[in-house]
Structure 1
């Protein structure tokens, strides 16, 4: 795996957000791969709760400046970057004042999901791809963590399917537990269709609950990783019928090495010399 390129795209990453299974797993897996000579890049949203001064974020002018079309609206893309102390790992932050300036992550002060979380997801997915294109950095593996990132597989398979930079990229999605209750904005499927995305694939998220968001990511991935020991029968059945490659639950002390072996043996199908 030395010198292979892995793009980690996560809703949350420590130390920028509080430690959770999601934020720590995304960080630890990237850190381990990096320590083994893998070229890594990490992308996450620049939520307003992130302390830019403490974490030394700075805007990358050469990458910023473009507008992304979200449901027929021009939304400016701002790219910021920071380095994780002691690790020499770069983290790129997808930012936009309308979507990410608020001092919260997914919900308001009453713990209600933001009504524009659907557009934030689309913006994040497009922002990641457009930034990687500007970097001209073709990843061998794209590893997706968290529901805010989970439209990326769909956009790579449909909206960006003609993009040569990702022709050989394999998509891996880690499945976490029920990260939100209720549903996202019911217009999400129509907003995805605005981008000329296959109607059948958009239909999966007509009812935009957590299970259906996961199904969309599974359907458009080459492989999935089960972060939890058990999922609902609905998700287990969907995984079984999808035919994607699966890495089953790994205990914390084994997961980083297991993930790297999974990339090598199952996702990239590399042979030992």
Structure 2
């Protein structure tokens, strides 16, 4: 089976969020399971030069874009047995940021070009995909263009499409006036059942309307987004496409996130040497100028500091939380409002709170390895990567039961000895605080604490099971 991934970012070339981790890991696992996978990405300025130097120019062509034709170079690079193609156009992709160019419809133009260029490039790469697997709004129009321009050509007529929503909140909405400038579509596509969205053009909605199958990144999120609270005004079309909507949980690359081999850690450990986490805690306390107390429960937050991550709950009870005998370590950047609140609290609680309003991968790994508990009370969470990494490093998660958090963290039951973390249901600050206090209480109950760690050791959050579900979906689609 030939599958083509199309995305706007991917590890190790370019990353702003969890999407890039998926694109860096899932194709590798599909290859292991005997699926031929290739990947298209934009050739951004920020891609490291040592990768660029190894890219091979396959073809140059002109891509139709409304009333104009634009240059497109197709570059090829094989990385860890996966073939990557990079769409090259310096005007669109050699910029200081990879996203955020909203003036004069420029952001729309860049990804209309990318989506169209992928389809134009296919006949020149010696690879005919049976399935094109699209990710996020930046690639969603590929499904629309395939239906509008290409489906009657022999090369394209049997290609099927899968569209994955990683976060429904980000949709790519632009004024209707871009239709005349960038598109040459018939009016049948600009309808309530197509790309029209309250008089504007919605790229992601195009992917929902015209892709053959739709997936999102957890089973619970697939259900949640069919209701108005989580549906971001697209719940109607998602309910309409219910029979074609699947929730497939993300995994993590367990070779990358492995405390037994992680070079960032002070002391490496595995499932059979969890006691070595204490040595990591002591070393991190020294580094962060916290009191050296191996016995104290250390709680970690490694997160974007934005409302989605449940920070309003933490802020609301921050003083009550810090009245407990704990240490709290926060790492992340985001909204200035939250950064200032946490930095101000660090002045008041210098022996309990350590705040770092930047992001450093090495420090993040050290925090995962040192911490006993990991706090992630998200307002909504399509899948979540941080709780999976925390589990891998035996930092026991405390989460709100939403999206992928509900699917990956089972609240511990002292009677059945089942569960791998702690959770609460309502978006309520004192429900969260109660759950934190319960976790702290069980931290001192060594028998139950050992049961939780033993349960975590049995988990498999790798991509293996998820890749199998994607393969089943691909087969189902082709047979359908």
Bin for the TM-score computed over the shorter chain: 0.7 to 0.9
Kindly indicate whether the alpha-carbon contact (under 8 Å) linking 1:118 and 1:185 is maintained by their aligned counterparts in 2: no
Matched residue, 2:353: none
Distance 1:176 1:122, change over 3 A: same
Q: Is the 8 A contact 1:181 1:209 kept in 2?
A: no
Partner of 2:209: 219
CA contact (8 A) 1:28 1:256 kept: no
State the partner residue of 1:236. Answer: 235
The answer to which of 149-158 and 129-138 deviates more is: 129-138
Equivalent position to 1:166, from 156, 166, 170 = 156
User: How far 1:176 moved relative to its partner?
Assistant: 1.8
Q: Is the 8 A contact 1:117 1:184 kept in 2?
A: no
SS of the residue corresponding to residue 128 of structure 1 reads helix
Gaps of 5+ in 1: none
Q: Distance in 2 between matches of 1:59 and 1:207?
A: 40
Out of 254, 260, 267, the residue aligned to residue 477 of structure 2 is 267
Q: 1:199 aligns with which of 187, 199, 220?
A: 187
Task: Determine helix, strand or coil for the equivalent of 1:12.
Answer: coil
Question: Take 1:134 and 1:237, find their aligned partners in 2: how far apart are those partners?
Answer: 39
Q: Which residue of 54, 59, 66 corresponds with 1:63? A: 59
Question: What SS does structure 2 have at the residue aligned with 1:92?
Answer: strand
Map 1:112-131 → 2, pairs under 5 A: 115-131=105-121
Are 2:105 and 2:178, in contact at CA under 8 Å, matched by a contact in 1?
A: no
TM-score norm. by structure 1 comes to 0.83
Corresponding residue to 2:9 among 12, 23, 48: 12
Larger Rg: 2
RMSD: 2.7
Question: Counterparts of 1:94 and 1:210 in 2: how far apart (Å)?
Answer: 27
SS state of the match for residue 116, structure 1? helix
**Counterparts of 1:149 and 1:209 in 2: how far apart (Å)?**
21
Paired residue for 2:398? none
Quick one: which of 241, 257, 264 aligns to 2:468? Answer: 257
Q: Distance in 2 between matches of 1:93 and 1:104?
A: 17
Q: How many residues align?
A: 257
Q: Which structure 1 residue ranges, 4+ long, deviate > 6 Å from structure 2?
A: 208-211
1:171 Cα deviation from its structure 2 partner: 0.4
Post-superposition shift, 1:236?
3.0
3-state secondary structure, aligned to 2:128: coil
Q: What CA distance in whole angstroms lies between the structure 2 residues aligned with 1:143 and 1:245? A: 14
How far has the Cα of 1:25 moved from its partner? 1.4
| Unmatched segments (≥5 aa) in structure 2 | 252-460
In structure 2, relative to structure 1, the CA distance for the partners of 1:119 and 1:94 (3 Å cut) is same
Bigger Cα displacement from structure 2, 178-187 vs 7-16: 178-187
* Deviation string, structure 1 residues 56-95 (Cα, Å, up to 9, x no partner): 44241x411x2112121221111112222xx211110011
Other-structure match for 1:147: 137
Which structure dedicates a bigger proportion of its chain to helix?
A: 2
C-alpha contact (below 8 Å) 2:2/2:129 kept by paired residues: yes
